[in-house]
Structure formats: structure tokens, C-alpha cells
Structure 1
């Protein structure tokens, strides 16, 4: 079974979710003192972005807010695990900064998922409006039958004009 055609809005949603997942993971990593990821960490985040974005494109109900939030949350957890494996570690005990970072992650996830959902709905609504305006059905006017007259009681106008333009005068009588 081959998948059906993918709409441009779905592809844009996947790209936005993947990119924003990696950007949030990198921002959290940098904000917690780990610096911006480079080398293997950056490549791993790029692969994670492609996987999360592709998942949101192909999963059923990927346009819903809860699905987007869950996918981005899983992406954040995987991003944290990937960046931890590349050398970024938090302390064993949860400090106030870790709780603040977790709250910031959750707030950012909810805000980004809401923005992506509203953006896709707006894109679909605008696309439907433009499509309806551009592809408005043409009003068909039924073609009438052309009347053909084969015989009429009065002479044609061109015959009348020709008769009026002819001179009925002959040569002078006295000249011979």
C-alpha cells in the first residue's frame, strides 16, 4: 500500500516541528551551561529534527495539538539524551535551575505546538479561500441558435443604397 499524496501544509508542519524541536533542545543545552552543540552533537540534533518532523508528517492525527506536543516532548527528551551522551551532564540532585529549565521546556513546547497548530489551520483556511476565489465556476451562457432567413419581403440595404447612388440621367439630348 502506497501512502497518499502529502499536502504542502503537512510538509511545512513537519519541517517546523523538526526544526523547532532541535532549536529548543540546543537552546536548553546552551541555557543550562552546556554551550551550543557542535560536531557530533549538532549532527545528532539534525538527525533528530528530521526524524521528529518526518514522524509528525506520517502519523495519523499529526495536525492535532496533543500529538504535536507529545512528539515535540519526546524529541526534547531524546535531544537531552543525545546531548548528554556527547558530554553535557546535569548534577544528580534536582536543583531550582533544573526545575526552572523543565518549566521553560514545557512552556516552550506548549507555545510552539499551539503556534504550529494555529499556523497550519490558518494556512489551510487561506488556501481554501484562495482556491475558491481562483477556481470560481464559470457561468455558462447557453448558446442561442442563429436565425437564418432564406427569403424576405424587402430588399437588402445594400441593394437600396446601390439603387440610390445610381444616376438616372442620360446624356444631353442636343448633343449628337
Structure 2
């Protein structure tokens, strides 16, 4: 049995699902009359959305399809709704009937899934272009080696200094 690994864009998919789930849950909760979440509800919501995003990002490459993404976003919205209502007093969603709210959530789920799929499809071509553009330029100039002077071209300075200090006079000759 071979282990299946996530795709290279799995982190993008997981992060997008987690972030979109949190944003959509807060927006739907506010529109439905639930108000803004307090710190406890927001903490629970972020934990639930991070778990949904991590689970989605950890899926093997063969499980990454549109149905899986729609299911992850729908499950994330359910988890977000439960997280927001668990810490508050039970409230009635005013202004929108239940069928209209479910239809709005379904439409938002489809739109978010389309956005994630488009971002995932464009990720590799865009990063390839950015890597090409931001790569340091390679100059096409050939370097020619500079010839180094050999020992016969010029005398070494040390030898010239030593030669000036050496006397040619020797000891007296005795015959």
C-alpha cells in the first residue's frame, strides 16, 4: 500500500478553505441578526476553521476535486455556525427565513469553491512567471584570463633589494 501525498497546492487549498469558512460564518452570522462574535466565540470559530482548513489541506491529491471542496466548505460553515452559537445565548436569526439563509449559504459555498479552484489552477503558472521574472540576470559576457607575469618578465622586488646590500669585496688575499 503506497502512501498518498498532498498536492503542491494543498496548503493553498487548506488555508483558503479555513479563511473563507471563517469569513463566511462571521458574515452570515451578522446578516442573520446574530451580531458580532465576542472573543470566546471568535476563538472557538477560528479553532474550528483552522481544523477544517488543516483537514482539507491534508487530503491526498486524488481526493482534491470539486465535490470534496464543496463538502469541506459546507462542513466548515456548519462548524462555524455551531461555534458561534455555542458560546452565545440561543438567538433567532432575524430578517431571513431559514430557506433563504440556506440558499444564500449554498450560493456562497459554490462561489467560494470556484474561487479556491481558480486560485489553485493559477498558482503554478503565476509562481513560474514570478520565479522567471525575479531570477537574477545571467550576463552573457565571457571573461578572458589575464596573463600573469612569469619569473623572467620582471625581477622580484626582494631579490633586487638584497642584491643592492651585498658587497662584492671579499677578504684580503694572502699569497
| Bin of the TM-score, shorter chain as denominator length | 0.5 to 0.7
For the pair shown, the structure with the greater C-alpha radius of gyration is: 1
- Are 2:111 and 1:111 aligned? yes
Q: Superposed, which structure 2 residues align to 1:10-159 within 5 Å? A: 10-60=10-60, 61=62, 63-87=64-88, 89-91=90-92, 97-127=97-127
Report the TM-score when normalising by structure 1.
0.63
Name the CA shift for 1:83/1:134 in 2 (closer, same or farther; >3 Å). closer
Aligned partner of residue 33 in structure 1, secondary structure: coil
**What is the Cα deviation at residue 90 of structure 1?**
4.8
Q: Which runs of 4+ in 1 moved over 6 A?
A: 129-135
**What is the Cα deviation at residue 78 of structure 1?**
1.2
Q: Tell me which residue corresponds to 1:162.
A: none
**What is the Cα deviation at residue 127 of structure 1?**
3.9
**What is the Cα deviation at residue 59 of structure 1?**
1.2
Name the CA shift for 1:21/1:100 in 2 (closer, same or farther; >3 Å). same
Consecutive unaligned residues in structure 2, runs of 5 or more: 136-175
Q: What is the aligned-residue RMSD (CA, Å)?
A: 3.1
Name the CA shift for 1:78/1:18 in 2 (closer, same or farther; >3 Å). same
Name the CA shift for 1:32/1:123 in 2 (closer, same or farther; >3 Å). same
